[in-house]
A and B are shown apart, each in its own frame.
Chain A
Amino acid sequence: MMNSIKQQLMNLFKKQSDLTTILLFAAGVLTMPIWLDPIGANYPDLLQKFVIFGIFAVGYNILFGLTGYLSFGHAVFLGVGSYTAVWSFKLFTMNVLPAMLFATLISGLIAAAIGFVSMRRSGIYFSILTLAFAQMFYNLAYSVLIPITNGETGLQLRMHDIRIIDNYFSDPAPGLPSTELFGMSMNGYSGFYFCAVVLILAFYVAMKIFRSPFGMKLKAIKSNQHRMRYTGSDTRPYLITAFIISGMFAGLAGALLAVTDPLAGAERMQWTASGEVILMTILGGVGTLFGPLLGVGIIKYLENIFSTINESVLQQFFSFLPQWGENFMVAIVSPFVGDGWHLTLGILFMIIIIFLPGGLMEGFQKIKKRYLTKGVKDSESTTKQE
C-alpha cells in the first residue's frame, strides 16, 4: 500500500519535467514573504528558519527517506556546520561563501567518520550509535571543547577577531562586522533571499539524487537489503555515501544559521534537535520531495507563532461569541497554544503516524485520488497489479 502510493508520487513527478518542478518550487519559495504575510509569519528570522531547516530536512530525507536508516544524530552536523562557519568569520572573512564551503566540507568529513562506524550496524543499533555520537559531541561541546565552542554562551564574533582576509583589504569598521556576500549584508530579507536560493539549489540536487540510479539503489536497499546483498552488490558504500551527503546538507544548513545570525550554540546539537528534524520529515511525508519542507513549515510555524498566542489574543479572536462562549472557547483552546504548542505538536504528530504513516503528502494524495476519477482508476490498477 505504502509503496504503491510512493510509486504514484514518483510517477506524478516524472510526468512533469524536472525543470517545471524546480521553477514552480523556486517561485513558491521566493514569494514566501507575500503568501506568508496573512498568517503573521512574514519576518526575516522566521523566513530564514523556514528555508534553512528546509535544507536540513531535505538532506535528512536523502538518508531516512531513501534508505530507511533512522539517524538520531543529525543535529551534530548542523552544529558542526555552524561552528565551522563562525570560525571562518572569525579567522578569515565575513564573506559567507568560504564559511559555507568549509562548513559543508568539515561536516562531510565528520559524517564520513560517524557514518563509516555507524553503518556497520542496522536498525535500532544504528539509531543508537548515531545517538551516542551525537550525545558525545553535545556533551563535549559543553565541557572540554569549550575553547572551540565557547560552551553555553555560544561561539560569537568579537571586535578583535583576526579575520585575515578582510583586514588585509580594509581597516576594521568600528563595532561588530556583519556577514556579507561581496558587500551585500546577510541580515534581514537579503539573508532570506540568499538562503532561499541555496534551498532551491539544494532541492534541485536532492531531486536529481532521488531520480538517479544511485537513488534507485538506495530505495532498493530500503525495500530489501538482503536481496541486494544476494545479487552481489555491497550496500555499505551506498549507505555511507547517502549518510555523508545528508550530513553535508545538514552542515550547509548549520552554516546558513550562522550566516543569518553569527552565533553557534551547542544546543542545536542536542538529540532533541535531531528528533525535531525527524518529526519534520515524518510529518510532511518521508521519502517524498516536498513532504519534509511541509513539515518544516508546520513545526517552525507552531514554534514561533503559535507559541506566542496568549489568552488576550485568544479573547480577541473569540470576541464575536457571547461572553460565556468566549470564556469557554478560551479555556478550551488555551492549553494548546502559547507554551502549550508542544502539546499540539505531539497530538498532531501522533494522529499523523496513526492514520497517515506517509505524512501529510499521503493525505493530499488520498484527497486527490478521491476527486480525480481518472487518477483513481490508474492507481487502482497499479495497486491490483502489486
Chain B
Amino acid sequence: MDSILIQLLNGLDKGAAYALIALGLTLVFGTLGVVNFAHGALFLMGAFCAVTFQKILTISKKVLDPSITYFDAYIEQPYLELWFGETGLAVIDWAVPLSIIVTIPTMLLIGLAMERGLIRHFYKRTHAEQILVTFGLAIVLQEIIRHFFGANPIPTPAPDIVSGSAAIGTWIGLGENFVYPWWRLIYLASATVIISSVFAFLHLTTFGMVVRAGMFDRQMVAFLGINVQRKFTIIFGLAAVVAGVAGAMYAPIVPPDYHMGMDFLVISFVIVVVGGMGSVRGAVAAGFLLGILQSLASMTVVSSLLPGIDQIIIYLVAVIILLTRPRGLMGRKGIGE
C-alpha cells in the first residue's frame, strides 16, 4: 500500500514537470497555431538561467592550496564568502530559488524576441515547416549553451534546508518508509500554483477571455477590432516564462546539461498530442496521467510481470489514446491534421 502511494506521489511529481512543459507548448499551438519544436530549448534556457545565476554568485578568487605539494593547485573561494562571510554563503546556498527572480524577466525577453524575430514569420507556413525551423532553432540554442557551459551536467543543488526528505508517512500515520524529498514536493506545489494561475488568467481575466476566443476563432475576434496579434505575442512570452521556470526549478532534481531540452522535447510533444493539440486542460491531464503511469510501471511487481513496460509505457499509452480518440483526450477537429 505504502509502496503504491509513494509511487503515485512520484508520478504526480514527474507529471508536474511534464505538465508544466506541455502547458506552454499547447498554449502556443492553441493560440498562435505554431508547432514549436524549440519549446524544449526554452526549458533548457530556464535551467541555464539558474546555472548562470549560480555561476555569477560563485565567482571566485583563486587561492593557492597548501595541502597539495606536487604542483600548484588552487582553492576557489567565492567573493561573496570573502566579503560577507556566512551571509554570503547563505546567498549562494539559496541560488536556485533566488534565480527564479532573474529567470522570469529573462525568459519573457527571450520569448518575446523569439516570437517577434522568427515565429511570427511562420504563422502562415505549414506545420511541417514550423516544426523544421523551430527544430533548427532548438539545435542552435543548445549548441550555444554547449559552447559556453560545456557538455557536462552542472550540479545546481537546492538550499541545504530542503535537500533532505519529508517524513510524510510519520505525519499521516503510514510508517516511516513513506518519505519524499522536500525539493520535489516544492516542485509539485509550485507546479500546481503555476498551472492554476495560468488557468485563472485564461478564465478570469478579460485578456484571457479574448485569448480563448481567439483560440476558438481568430478571424472573428479580429473582426471585432481587437488586436489579437499583440495578445498572442504576450502568450508566447508567457509560455516561455512557464517553461523557463519549470527548467530553473528542475535544476536541483537533475543537474542540467546542454541536451536536456531535446530529452524533454519528445516527451512533451507526446503529452501535448495525447492531451489534444491546443487543449490546455488536455495537456495538464495527459502530463499527470503519463507521469503516474510511468512511475507505476517502474514498480518491481509490474516490471517483473511485463518486462520492459517501464521503458515504453508512455509511448504505448500515446498510441492507444490516439487510435481510440483520434484527436487526443481533449482535442478539437481539424487542428493539426
Contact = CB atoms under 8 A, between A and B. Distances in A.
A128 B129 contact: no
A272 interface: yes
Given A142-B311, A143-B308, A131 B269 contact: yes
Contacts of B198: none
A144 B139 contact: no
Interface residues of B, number: 42
5 contacts: A68-B128, A120-B326, A124-B273, A129-B322, A340-B143
B249 interface: no
Contacts of B138: 346
A293 to B, nearest CB: 19
Contact of B140 (A117, A128, A343): A343
A125 B333 CA distance: 12
Given A123-B336, A124-B273, A140-B308, A345 B316 contact: no
Contacts of A70: 128, 131
A132 B271 CA distance: 11
A17 to B, nearest CB: 33
A162 B173 CA distance: 61
B153 interface: no
A282 interface: yes
Contact of B327 (A68, A120, A125, A143): A125
B130 to A, nearest CB: 9
A275 B139 CA distance: 11
B133 A136 contact: no
Given A122-B337, A135-B266, A343-B143, A140 B273 contact: no
A353 B147 contact: no
Contact of A124 (B35, B142, B312): B35
Given A136-B316, A140-B308, A125 B322 contact: yes
Interface of A: 68, 70, 117, 120-125, 127-129, 131-133, 135-136, 139-140, 142-145, 271-272, 275, 278-279, 282, 335, 339-340, 342-343, 345-347, 349-350, 353-354, 357
A124 B147 contact: no
B311 A140 contact: yes
A346 B143 contact: yes
Interface string B122-164: 0001011101110111111011101100000000000000000
B136 A350 contact: yes
B315 interface: yes
B323 interface: yes
Nearest to B317: A132
A143 B133 CA distance: 34
B238 interface: no
Nearest to A275: B135
Contacts of B318: 128-129, 132
A343 B144 contact: yes
B277 interface: yes
Interface of B: 35, 118, 121, 125, 127-129, 131-133, 135-140, 142-144, 146-147, 262, 266, 269-270, 273, 277, 307-308, 311-312, 315-316, 318-319, 322-323, 326-328, 336-337
A352 to B, nearest CB: 8
Contacts of B132: 278, 282, 349, 353
Nearest to A64: B128
Contacts of A340: 143, 147
Residue from A117, A350, A357 with most neighbouring chain B CB atoms (10 Å): A350
Given A133-B319, A144-B308, A349-B132, 4 more contacts: A128-B318, A129-B322, A139-B312, A342-B142
A124 B139 contact: no
Residue from B121, B133, B144 with most neighbouring chain A CB atoms (10 Å): B133
B328 to A, nearest CB: 8
Given A123-B337, A278-B132, A128 B322 contact: yes
A132 B311 contact: no
Contacts of A347: 136, 140
| Minimum-distance CB pairs A-B, first 7 | A346-B139, A144-B308, A343-B143, A139-B311, A350-B136, A132-B315, A346-B140
A342 B143 contact: yes
Contacts of B127: 123-124
Contact of A128 (B121, B146, B269, B312): B269
Nearest to A225: B337
B322 A136 contact: no
Contact of A140 (B136, B269, B312, B328): B312
Contacts of A122: 337
A354 B121 contact: yes
Contacts of A342: 139, 142-143
Nearest to A146: B308
A272 B143 contact: no
B136 A129 contact: no
